[in-house]
Chain A
Amino acid sequence: AQSVAQPEDQVNVAEGNPLTVKCTYSVSGNPYLFWYVQYPNRGLQFLLKYITGDNLVKGSYGFEAEFNKSQTSFHLKKPSALVSDSALYFCAVRVFYGNNRLAFGKGNQVVVIP
């Protein structure tokens, strides 16, 4: 079954330091991977996606993600974290080819410390 795992519950980082949020995937066939961010009491906002092509994907708000097929990972990164990046981050994978369902990881709480 298609699934993603986000191994850490919370990521703490000092403002200005690099931010990494980890995601590993398990799929049969080609992976189609997504990152979303959720602020308190809000819906999910799309950040970026990997469908095919370059392994480094650039997205919104200065975020990027690196697709690594050998390690089955799709880690989200930002070179310099801001306090406003404090939020809940979800990794997701397309479940069935030809069907647009998404299966989500449990989410990672990111806390950026001023």
Chain B
Amino acid sequence: DGGITQSPKYLFRKEGQNVTLSCEQNLNHDAMYWYRQDPGQGLRLIYYSQIVNDFQKGDIAEGYSVSREKKESFPLTVTSAQKNPTAFYLCASTFTPTGVGNTIYFGEGSWLTVV
């Protein structure tokens, strides 16, 4: 089936650890995104990438890093510098960034909890 696959669904991080959330899409989409969801705050953009080997910071990039080495993959690393990482993380993708009418589609999300 075509779609956006996020893994793992649940992840626990110890203090001082870096962890990586995986996002893979087989939709041949050009652009990929990472959003963070906290209760009552909606979704906030962490990073986005319009093409391979290029990405830009979103609104809350501090403490996070990404890479875009392949079109289908956009992993997110939550570093120890992110002081409050407990949240639901959503990966998304879409065709042709300059198409304003293009719909952005989302994966099923990953829960990250600090223990």
Contact = CB atoms under 8 A, between A and B. Distances in A.
Nearest to A94: B100
Interface stretch (B11-19, B37-45, B66-74): B37-45
A90 B28 CA distance: 26
13 contacts: A9-B40, A34-B104, A41-B109, A41-B111, A43-B107, A51-B101, A90-B43, A97-B100, A100-B31, A100-B100, A101-B33, A102-B104, A104-B42
B85 to A, nearest CB: 18
- Sort chain B's interface into a size bin: 20 to 34
B105 interface: yes
Contacts, number: 64
Interface residues of A, number: 25
Contacts of A94: 100
Interface string A34-56: 10100001111110010100000
Contact of B100 (A9, A46, A98): A98
Contacts of B25: none
B102 interface: yes
Interface of B: 4, 6, 31, 33, 35, 40-43, 45, 48, 50, 58, 90, 92, 94, 97-109, 111
Contacts of A41: 109, 111
Interface of A: 9, 32, 34, 36, 41-46, 49, 51, 90, 94, 97-107
Contacts of B92: 44
Contact of B99 (A90, A100, A105, A107): A100
